[in-house]
Amino acid sequence: MTPENNKSNLKIFFIKLIAISLSIIVIINMTYNLIFAEKLNAINKILTLNEKENIEKFKDKIRLEIENGLSKEKILKEKDAKLLKKFYIKVKKELDEVETD
């Protein structure tokens, strides 16, 4: 091996190393954005609910969803209705057992 050939091989090695490192960084960044960014946006929306305009947007969204639900023939699926009924009966039973002052 000549010194020039050795330098050339070393240069090619570093170019490949840099290319692979950059590729790994890009892959990690894309994975982060695809998986975590969406969840972080949702968390940020929840954390900013103390701002007046965000509260109003949230109320409007709830009202719209309720209106959409009321326009349907059935709001709940049968499985959900059964679950809510059992929950209601249990809460009612516990409230009946509480002594009133």
In the prediction, which pLDDT does 98 show? 85
Identify the band that residue 87 occupies on the pLDDT scale cut at 50, 70 and 90. Answer: very high
Query: Going by C-beta distance under 8 Å and a sequence separation of 6 or more, which residues neighbour residue 45?
Result: 54
Q: What is the model's pTM? A: 0.39
| Cα–Cα distance measured from residue 78 to residue 74, given in angstroms and rounded to the nearest whole number | 9
In the prediction, which pLDDT does 101 show? 57
